Chains A and B, each alone.
Chain A
Amino acid sequence: MKKIIKYIITDILRNKIILSYTAFLLAISFTIFSLEDNSTKGLLSLLNIVLIIVPLISIIFSTIYIYNSAEFIELLVSQPLQRKKIWLGLFTGLAGSFTIAFLIGAGIPIILFEATAVGFMILAVGILLSIIFVAIAMFAAVKIRDKAKGIGVTILLWLYFSLLFDGIVLFLLFQFSDYPIEKPMIAVSMLNPIDIGRILILLKMDVSALMGYTGAVFKDFFGTTTGMVTSFLILALWMICPLLISLRKFDRKDL
């Protein structure tokens, strides 16, 4: 398995797309922090990148990579190797290279310019989201045999998690505005990893605005250690569940 991971990581890190992704993150983060005189605005721009660009690149690149390595996977399967190990190796390789890319691209500027609680929270959420969307991509890729359809589905999934889900939440908020929906809202937000990440960052960034009554409900949950641990556990579940399901599928798939 180690050999597979090593092979995949070296293969991906040599890939032009992942290199330009790293360079893009690095360039954008440096520009943000050196152009803005006020660090709050810089962090806000970085937040948008972490919440939109990072999931998009992770999910699409991983899907394409898996489809493109179909022959390589077939070759590996024909060897005396466990299918589980092949799939997990693929996941670790992809997740590892995205973590490295994000750590270099956004981590270095954050540590240099904004080594605060908000900065580190953005870093943590960025890494987790990268890994989660790799897992979701692998789930989609194993489920759908056709490459074009698979990529389309992953784009739709990204659109759902970053835009449509929030639209639905906003709709629900207005439909049920006469009821005390703060607590159910916390549960609903757990259904979207991007939302969990955003709220975790929000609590560090806009804490004054969140101290209003409703904000206080959120703060009481997410701001406490239990809440933090729960949110990170759920983020971990978002990583593990798609991976396990895809693993089962891959195990039984007729290649």
Chain B
Amino acid sequence: MYSLPGMCSIIHVGKNEKIKTIKEAISQAHELDTVLVHGGYYKEGNIFISKKIVLKGIDLPTLDGENKHQIISVKANGVVVDGFKIVHSGTSSLEDIAGIKLYDVRDAVVQNNVLDDTFFGIYTQRGINCLIQNNVLTSARKQEQASGNGIHCWKSDSMRIINNTIKGHRDGIYFEFVTNSVIWRNVSTSNLRYGLHFMFSNSDSYISNIFRYNGAGVSVMFSHHVKMFNNYFEENWGDGAYGILLKEIADSYIDGNHFIKNTSAIYMEGVSRTIMVKNVFRNNGWALKIQASCMETELHDNVFLGNTFDVGTNGSLVLNNFDGNYWDKYEGYDLNKNGIGDLPYRPVSMYSMIVERNPPAMILFHSFMTSLLDKTEKVLPTLTPENLADTKPLMKLPFRL
């Protein structure tokens, strides 16, 4: 009863096989074996994996946690969990019960699973170099307390979260103390709180994800060296909902993202040394809410189209650079035909300042009165910060939409 490298075996599990339960198969398996689970319905409580094996489902076998158990617990390095339907995990306010939980492991792969009605979906603590890809996670729980996060990573490093679809959880993807990781091509929609929640996680990238209809949008806080490229943030509606909430972010890049129909596309507080280029802001309530605590943020080649307010702010101190963006509300001219408007554009309108101070004033928006106020303010700026201006507004779109 020993196994040599290259002599690993395949153990079949199923109704018509010799071994009927996954637990039995795992207990018989050796390191590097493959446990193949055939389609069917398995109610085995909590399945522990403490050997380096491949657990693979064929025809999407269902593992049911009967609303009591955590379903798969992985406690060995290099485990692969592939192709299961994992349903009805337990719910607890003391423990973080998950559909699949990875404890202190490295090089694990969780892929092609379908998770339905789990408390937490896929949970990693102290994981290193794990790959979570092509999973579909759905939860239909109504309350934040009764709902966990879709993909939850805590104190992990070099994680790859790729092409997952997450719906209806508390936070779609949750990162806390996770470094050097990538979140790529995920779709996170209709989550109760955030589509992506990201704290104390440095040097991570998120690329080409879609965040849509989330209760409070996306929140990125207390991190540095974050890269956000080509993501879509759409229809995050509500007073506390932001396309992205950026709080205490430094040395980051926000590049090529699309913000469409959010109440506030980006809310920035305490953001420093961050470069935002080639983002598209379209039909948002506020494209940017930039607090006076932000500094050395550079915005250029961004496109602002059809937003109710382009920029809102809370003070007169401006330590950021807004030069070289395209604003559809710009009314200046370009006499020397160099593509740059000759007059500066002030994206903060008088009325956005009024609404910032007194939100019910929104009821008067677009009235003759407010248009007059805006026009007089343009001639003689008093309320709006004088330095918040784009001195080189672009006359034409900097790139094709």
Query: What is A's interface to B at a CB cutoff of 8 Å?
Result: 38, 40-41, 44, 47-48, 51-52, 162-163, 166-167, 169-170, 173-174, 177, 181-182, 185-186, 189, 194-195, 198-199, 201-202, 205-216, 218
Q: Mark B354-389, 1 if CB is under 8 A from A, else 0.
A: 000111111111111111100000000000000000
Minimal Cβ-Cβ distance residue in B for A36: B328
User: Which B residues touch A38, using CB under 8 A?
Assistant: 305-306, 328
Question: Which one, B237, B364, B366, contacts A169 given CB within 8 A?
Answer: B364
CA distance A218 to B364 in the complex (A): 12
Please, could you name 6 A-B residue pairs with CB atoms under 8 Å apart, sorted by A?
A38-B305, A209-B362, A210-B285, A211-B285, A215-B263, A218-B363
CA distance A173 to B357 in the complex (A): 11
User: Which A residues touch B359, using CB under 8 A?
Assistant: 212-215
CA distance A209 to B264 in the complex (A): 7
CA distance A216 to B239 in the complex (A): 8
User: Which B residues touch A47, using CB under 8 A?
Assistant: 366
Minimal Cβ-Cβ distance residue in B for A159: B368
Please tell me if B283 contacts chain A, counting CB pairs below 8 Å.
yes
Contacting pair B308 A206 (CB below 8 A): yes
Q: Knowing A166-B368, A166-B369, say if A209 contacts B309 (CB, 8 Å).
A: yes
Contacting pair B360 A185 (CB below 8 A): yes
Q: Which residues 330-366 of B sit at the A interface, judged by CB distance below 8 A?
A: 357-366
Q: Knowing A208-B263, A208-B308, A214-B359, say if A170 contacts B369 (CB, 8 Å).
A: yes
Question: Which one, B261, B284, B328, contacts A41 given CB within 8 A?
Answer: B328
User: Which A residues touch B191, using CB under 8 A?
Assistant: none
Other A-B pairs beyond A189-B363, A213-B359, 16, CB < 8 Å: A38-B305, A40-B283, A41-B306, A51-B366, A166-B367, A166-B368, A166-B370, A173-B358, A173-B364, A177-B360, A195-B363, A207-B261, A208-B284, A209-B365, A211-B285, A215-B263
Q: Knowing A208-B262, A212-B285, say if A163 contacts B368 (CB, 8 Å).
A: yes
User: Which B residues touch A40, using CB under 8 A?
Assistant: 283, 305-306, 328
User: Which B residues touch A167, using CB under 8 A?
Assistant: 369
CA distance A208 to B262 in the complex (A): 6
Minimal Cβ-Cβ distance residue in A for B358: A177
CA distance A162 to B366 in the complex (A): 11
User: Which B residues touch A174, using CB under 8 A?
Assistant: 358
Minimal Cβ-Cβ distance residue in B for A162: B368
Please tell me if B211 contacts chain A, counting CB pairs below 8 Å.
no
CB distance from A32 to the nearest CB of B (A): 15
CB distance from B388 to the nearest CB of A (A): 19
Please tell me if B238 contacts chain A, counting CB pairs below 8 Å.
yes
Q: Which residues 291-322 of B sit at the A interface, judged by CB distance below 8 A?
A: 305-306, 308-309
User: Which B residues touch A52, using CB under 8 A?
Assistant: 368
Q: Mark B92-116, 1 if CB is under 8 A from A, else 0.
A: 0000000000000000000000000
CB distance from A150 to the nearest CB of B (A): 23
Contacting pair A214 B360 (CB below 8 A): yes
Contacting pair B239 A212 (CB below 8 A): yes
Contacting pair B366 A213 (CB below 8 A): no
Report which residue of A38, A52, A169, A215 has the largest number of chain B beta carbons within 10 angstroms of its beta carbon: A215
Minimal Cβ-Cβ distance residue in B for A47: B366
Please tell me if B286 contacts chain A, counting CB pairs below 8 Å.
yes
Question: Which one, B306, B360, B368, B372, contacts A181 given CB within 8 A?
Answer: B360
User: Which B residues touch A181, using CB under 8 A?
Assistant: 360
CA distance A163 to B363 in the complex (A): 14
Q: Knowing A38-B328, A198-B366, say if A173 contacts B361 (CB, 8 Å).
A: yes
Ranked nearest first, the 4 interchain pairs of A and B with the lowest CB-CB distance are: A209-B285, A213-B239, A209-B308, A166-B369
User: Which B residues touch A210, using CB under 8 A?
Assistant: 285, 362
User: Which A residues touch B364, using CB under 8 A?
Assistant: 166, 169-170, 173
CA distance A205 to B306 in the complex (A): 10
User: Which B residues touch A202, using CB under 8 A?
Assistant: 365-366
Q: Mark B242-285, 1 if CB is under 8 A from A, else 0.
A: 00000000000000000001110000000000000000000111
CA distance A211 to B262 in the complex (A): 9
CA distance A166 to B361 in the complex (A): 10
Contacting pair B368 A51 (CB below 8 A): yes
Contacting pair A48 B371 (CB below 8 A): yes
User: Which B residues touch A194, using CB under 8 A?
Assistant: 367
